[in-house]
């Protein structure tokens, strides 16, 4: 029997595993993709204290090594269903069935899609959701980054060092990104800003050739080799809808103590209702959730 089953190995899940193992518990982490979650896509983590200049991928590997060294079991499989019977949680994956006393849902959130014609067709053929992963394919070429948040700003600056030309397309006149990032983008003469512009279509032949925008009701076509979509995150909590309360946006309702409305079920990191979604807040949630799961186990078993 698992003590804490952790669904998702981003900073929340991996920190929860570290805390769970240090509490002497039997911890199992389920991850269908690479450990690290959204952190993997960040070229440089600038606001996690003490790491210095470190990429998100490096921080992910460090956290992974730490939880494995402490003895957490990593199951590289996708969780397909979770149910609770008489206080025991049953977890189904493609490859097996597991039982656990508690669950910490730490599955994060996925990159939001634009939902315009051509986006899906050209996904992987010019449309990308990860500048760190795909940026080098466009060395010396043109790239459009869509979005006005931290991710879009960071990715535009990252691509400016690789591509010949970078456009930042944002639907409003002001960027949402933190001040220093927004300033760096606005000051960069390598990044051409197209503000007040809404993407309406991705155009291509075998691969992306352009993006069509609407600016004040007027269409404009910008030729490009790549389109990096950086328009935020969206939770994927459909499989938990029967056991956890979700808010209107699909996030799991849980407070700062990471407790959900169901005993023994916790939610940590980007997946829960919270005002701030950062690596450090996810890691903090992981610590809180594992500590409260430990308390729950001590009180009930
Ligand atoms: P975000 O902060 O939610 O920003 C999303 C951006 O995309 C916004 O500018 C939004 O426009 C725009 N947008 C949303 N839907 C759109 C659509 N359908 N069409 C066109 N534009 C659309 O997302 P993010 O930048 O990915 O960041 C996600 C979270 O991770 C945030 O909490 C962020 O702070 C955090 N993060 C932190 C760091 C860091 O600390 N270094 C780095 C990356 C991410 P509006 O502004 O008009 O709403």
pLDDT in tens, 257-277: 999 999 999 999 999 999 999
Q: How far is the CA of 77 from the centre of ligand 1 (A)?
A: 29
- Residue 53, pLDDT score: 85
Check which CATH number belongs to the domain holding 86 and give it: 3.50.50.60
Best residue among 232, 271, 278 to mutate for probing ligand 1's pocket (most ligand atoms within 8 Å of CB) is 232
Number of domains in the chain: 2
Do both 216 and 249 map to the same domain?
A: no
Do both 48 and 85 map to the same domain?
A: yes
Of 138, 168, 137, the closest CA to residue 153 belongs to 168
Do both 97 and 241 map to the same domain?
A: yes
Please, which residues have CB within 8 angstroms of residue 69's CB and are 6 or more apart in sequence? none
- Residue 58, pLDDT score: 96
Token pair recorded at residue 81: 């269903």
Do both 178 and 220 map to the same domain?
A: yes
Question: 148: Cβ below 6 Å to ligand 1?
Answer: yes
* Rounded Cα–Cα distance for residues 200 and 245 (Å): 34
Q: Which atom of ligand 1 is closest in space to residue 174's alpha carbon?
A: 46
Do both 44 and 78 map to the same domain?
A: yes
Q: How many CA atoms lie within 13 A of 108 on its CB side?
A: 28
* Rounded Cα–Cα distance for residues 124 and 121 (Å): 9
Inter-axis angle of helices 11-22 and 56-69, nearest 10: 20
Do both 215 and 252 map to the same domain?
A: no
Percent of the chain whose predicted confidence (pLDDT) is above 70:
100
Residue 215 lies in a domain: yes
> Structural domain of residue 214, as residue ranges?
127-229
35 is catalytic: no
Over residues 96-119, the mean pLDDT reads 97
Q: How confident is the model at residue 155 (pLDDT cuts 50, 70, 90)?
A: very high
Token pair recorded at residue 260: 């959900």
Residue 115 lies in a domain: no
User: Which of 229, 245, 274 corresponds to the end of one domain?
Assistant: 229
Residue 140 lies in a domain: yes
Percent of the chain whose predicted confidence (pLDDT) is above 90:
96
Q: How far is the CA of 147 from the centre of ligand 1 (A)?
A: 6
Backbone angles phi, psi at 292, to 5 degrees: -70, -30
Do both 153 and 169 map to the same domain?
A: yes
For ligand 1, atom 28, the nearest C-alpha belongs to 232
Q: How far is the CA of 286 from the centre of ligand 1 (A)?
A: 23
Best residue among 150, 152, 211, 273 to mutate for probing ligand 1's pocket (most ligand atoms within 8 Å of CB) is 150
How confident is the model over 216-269, as pLDDT tens digits? 999 999 999 999 999 999 999 999 999 999 999 999 999 999 999 999 999 999
> Is the separation of the CB atoms in 94 and 1 below 8 Å?
no
The yes-or-no verdict on residue 92 having pLDDT over 90 is: yes
* Rounded Cα–Cα distance for residues 20 and 70 (Å): 9
Q: How confident is the model at residue 1 (pLDDT cuts 50, 70, 90)?
A: very high
Of 153, 155, 148, the closest CA to residue 226 belongs to 155
The yes-or-no verdict on residue 46 having pLDDT over 90 is: no
User: Which of 198, 229, 260 corresponds to the end of one domain?
Assistant: 229
* Rounded Cα–Cα distance for residues 88 and 165 (Å): 55
Q: How confident is the model at residue 106 (pLDDT cuts 50, 70, 90)?
A: very high
Do both 102 and 191 map to the same domain?
A: no
How confident is the model over 136-145, as pLDDT tens digits? 999 999 999 9
Helix (H, G, I), strand (E, B) or coil at 41: helix
Average pLDDT over the chain reads 96
Do both 215 and 155 map to the same domain?
A: yes
pTM of the complete model = 0.87
Do both 241 and 101 map to the same domain?
A: yes
Helix (H, G, I), strand (E, B) or coil at 271: helix
- Residue 277, pLDDT score: 92
Over residues 145-171, the mean pLDDT reads 97
Give buried/exposed letters for 284-299 (b at 16+ CB in 10 A, else e): bbbbbbbbbbbebbee
């Amino acid at each position: 029997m698992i003590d804490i089953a952790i669904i998702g190995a981003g900073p929340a899940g991996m920190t929860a595993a570290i805390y769970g193992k240090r509490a002497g518990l039997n911890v199992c982490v389920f991850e269908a993709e690479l450990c690290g979650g959204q952190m993997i896509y960040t070229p440089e983590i600038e606001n996690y204290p003490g790491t210095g200049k470190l990429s998100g991928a490096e921080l992910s590997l460090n956290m992974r090594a730490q939880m494995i060294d402490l003895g957490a079991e990593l199951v590289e499989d996708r969780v397909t269903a979770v149910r609770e019977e008489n206080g025991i949680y049953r977890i189904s994956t493609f490859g097996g069935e597991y039982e656990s006393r508690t669950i910490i849902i730490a599955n994060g959130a996925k990159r939001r899609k634009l939902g315009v014609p051509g986006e899906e067709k050209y996904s992987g053929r010019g449309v990308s959701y990860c500048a760190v992963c795909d940026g080098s394919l466009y060395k010396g070429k043109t790239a459009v980054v869509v979005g006005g948040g931290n991710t879009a700003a960071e990715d535009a600056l990252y691509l400016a060092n690789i591509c010949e030309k970078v456009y930042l397309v944002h639907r409003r006149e002001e960027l949402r990104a933190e001040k220093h990032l927004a300033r760096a983008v606005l000051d960069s003469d390598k990044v051409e800003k197209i503000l007040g512009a809404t993407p309406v279509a991705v155009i291509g032949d075998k691969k992306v050739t352009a993006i069509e925008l609407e600016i004040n009701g007027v269409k404009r076509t910008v030729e490009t080799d790549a389109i990096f979509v950086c328009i935020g995150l969206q939770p994927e909590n459909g499989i938990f809808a029967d056991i956890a309360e979700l808010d209107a946006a699909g996030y799991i309702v849980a407070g700062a103590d990471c407790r959900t409305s169901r005993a023994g079920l916790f939610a940590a990191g980007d997946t829960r209702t919270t005002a701030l979604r950062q690596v450090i807040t996810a890691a903090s949630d992981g610590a809180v959730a594992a500590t409260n799961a430990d308390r729950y186990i001590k009180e009930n078993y």
